[in-house]
């Protein structure tokens, strides 16, 4: 019996089809609580049920209250990839200080958009449109022309994101803590005056980190003057954006928890060794060679059997140089449902029998058509023996 025949005979995995939903009416999994509305009045709210996933998600206060600075992040952050990691990464690091079993998540309600906008300006006199006495970004130091001044004094701080963590006290929700992300540039892109050329200044990471820590301390002092934050426990994190056009997001560099304090000491900072890698890429081949080779092998095995396969992309999340999460996207041109099912069966076979990665690594594989529409998803969960498969 040849190998291809053997593969055909062993594709016996069950395909689990379906969708999930939850009811937000009060049940044993939800809580009715009292919280404060945007107008300052007490209103009844519901805390959403927990979601059973490999990631730690906070339960959310419903009705959902958007951030009072809503819309700023999309304008200040370079991509949706960055936005997702800034938000979920800050939640991930917040779990060290605000236990998801006790705290509930709410988007930032204290730092107004106009206040954040002032803090994102350069330090300096108001009136020139780029500076403000409240500004956290470096002031211009030298240079005659607009181009020279920006090249010698690049902007480092791109955005400030607030997340609030609520505690329940006697059926009422009170602010229990706040997490703040300072989003830092790895490169500074600016356009010269009068719609002139666009320039890019690459930034030194060590200098960016040093400036980020300085700005974090200044920010804490400003926050302590903000109503509702005078004694709130504060967690501050530094996030480094990737360069524009990167296929992966940036990552968190460090964070500090100062509780009810007013300043961050050098010993308060905890450094993180985490990064996203894109497969296939020269960076992945150089830095995580073994995992990059496993990706290439999986890709080659798909190409052996399906001529309409058009390539695949992957993203690995690493902490302390270990792969912690893996996502793959496989675009394929399908001519019928039977072909899709056959392809998914083969991918399932590879996951069950010829998977080179550690099976304890949470893995998501998304199969799409050439228009980018999702046709199927496969999940490897450390708690399940077989892949979970969903076909549209």
Q: What percent of the chain has pLDDT over 70?
A: 85
**Residue 337 reports pLDDT greater than 60:** yes
**Residue 326 reports pLDDT greater than 50:** yes
pLDDT for the residue numbered 52: 47
Whether the Cβ atoms of residue 375 and residue 392 lie closer than 8 Å to each other: yes
What superfamily would CATH give domain 277-391?
sex pheromone staph- cam373 precursor domain (3.10.570.10)
Confidence of residue 314 (pLDDT cuts 50, 70, 90): very high
Q: Which residue has the higher pLDDT, 171 or 292?
A: 292
Mean pLDDT of 237-258: 96
pLDDT for the residue numbered 42: 58
**Residue 199 reports pLDDT greater than 90:** yes
CATH fold group of domain 52-272: sex pheromone staph- cam373 precursor fold (3.10.570)
Confidence of residue 258 (pLDDT cuts 50, 70, 90): very high
DSSP state of 225: T
pLDDT for the residue numbered 34: 52
The two three-digit tokens of residue 358, written as one number: 């550690």
pLDDT for the residue numbered 29: 56
Q: Which residues of 70-99 are buried (b: 16+ CB within 10 A; e: fewer)?
A: eebbeebbbbebbbebbbebbbbbbeebbe
Mean pLDDT of 16-34: 44
Peptide bond into 280 cis (omega under 30): yes
Q: What percent of the chain has pLDDT over 90?
A: 67
Give the contacts of 176 (CB within 8 A, at least 6 positions apart): 98, 102, 103, 165, 166, 167, 233
Confidence of residue 47 (pLDDT cuts 50, 70, 90): low
**Residue 133 reports pLDDT greater than 80:** yes
Helix residue ranges, H only, the chain = 3-10, 72-76, 80-94, 113-119, 146-152, 205-223, 282-287, 289-305, 337-353
**Residue 370 reports pLDDT greater than 90:** no
* Measured distance CA(242)–CA(78) in Å, rounded: 9
Q: Do domains 52-272 and 277-391 have the same CATH topology?
A: yes
Q: Which residues of 206-222 are buried (b: 16+ CB within 10 A; e: fewer)?
A: eebbebbbebbbbbbee
Whether the Cβ atoms of residue 364 and residue 377 lie closer than 8 Å to each other: yes
DSSP state of 72: H
Mean pLDDT of 338-365: 94
pLDDT for the residue numbered 15: 40
Q: What pLDDT digit, counting tens, does each position of 61-117 carry?
A: 888 888 888 888 777 887 899 999 999 999 999 999 999 999 999 999 899 999 999
Q: Counting Cβ atoms within 10 Å, is residue 101 exposed (0-12), middle (13-18) or buried (19+)? A: exposed
Give the contacts of 149 (CB within 8 A, at least 6 positions apart): 140, 142, 143
Domain edges within the chain: 52-272, 277-391
**Residue 332 reports pLDDT greater than 60:** yes
pLDDT for the residue numbered 383: 86
Return the minimum-mean-pLDDT range out of 47-56, 135-144, 278-287.
Answer: 47-56
* Measured distance CA(131)–CA(146) in Å, rounded: 14
Mean pLDDT of 306-310: 74
**Residue 304 reports pLDDT greater than 90:** no
**Residue 13 reports pLDDT greater than 50:** no
* Measured distance CA(306)–CA(239) in Å, rounded: 41
pLDDT for the residue numbered 63: 81
Whether the Cβ atoms of residue 292 and residue 314 lie closer than 8 Å to each other: no
Confidence of residue 46 (pLDDT cuts 50, 70, 90): low
């Amino acid at each position: 019996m040849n190998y291809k025949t053997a593969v055909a005979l062993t594709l016996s995995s069950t395909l689990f089809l379906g969708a999930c939903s939850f009811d937000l009416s009060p049940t044993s999994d939800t809580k009715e609580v009292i919280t404060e509305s945007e107008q300052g009045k007490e209103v009844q709210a519901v805390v959403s049920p927990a979601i059973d996933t490999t990631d730690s998600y906070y339960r959310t206060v419903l009705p959902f209250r958007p951030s009072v600075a809503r819309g700023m992040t999309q304008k200040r952050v370079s991509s949706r990839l960055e936005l997702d990691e800034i938000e979920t990464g800050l939640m991930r690091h917040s779990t060290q200080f605000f236990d998801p079993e006790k705290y509930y998540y709410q988007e930032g309600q204290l730092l107004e958009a106009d206040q954040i906008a002032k803090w994102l300006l350069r330090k300096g006199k108001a009136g020139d449109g780029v500076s403000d006495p409240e500004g956290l970004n470096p002031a211009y130091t030298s240079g005659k022309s607009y181009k020279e001044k920006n090249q010698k004094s690049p902007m480092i701080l791109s955005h400030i994101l607030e997340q609030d963590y609520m505690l329940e006290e006697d059926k009422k929700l009170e602010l229990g803590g706040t997490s703040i992300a300072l989003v830092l540039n790895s490169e500074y892109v600016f356009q010269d005056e009068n719609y002139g050329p666009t320039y890019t200044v690459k930034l030194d990471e060590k200098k960016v980190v040093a400036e980020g820590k300085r700005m974090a301390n200044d920010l804490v002092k400003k926050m302590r003057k903000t109503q509702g934050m005078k004694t709130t426990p504060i967690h501050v994190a530094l996030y480094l954006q990737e360069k524009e056009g990167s296929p992966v997001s940036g990552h968190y560099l460090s964070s500090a928890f100062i509780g009810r304090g007013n300043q961050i000491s050098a010993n308060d900072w905890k450094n993180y060794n985490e990064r996203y890698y894109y497969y296939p890429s020269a960076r992945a081949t150089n830095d995580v060679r073994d995992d990059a080779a496993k990706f290439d092998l999986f890709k080659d095995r798909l190409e052996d059997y399906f001529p309409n396969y058009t390539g695949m992309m992957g993203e690995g999340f690493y902490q302390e140089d270990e792969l912690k999460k893996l996502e793959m996207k496989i675009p394929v041109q399908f001519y019928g449902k039977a072909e899709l099912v056959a392809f998914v069966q083969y991918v399932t076979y590879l996951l069950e029998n010829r998977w080179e990665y550690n099976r304890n690594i949470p893995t998501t594989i998304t199969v799409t058509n050439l228009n980018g529409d999702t046709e199927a998803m496969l999940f490897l969960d450390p708690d399940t023996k077989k892949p979970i498969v969903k076909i549209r």
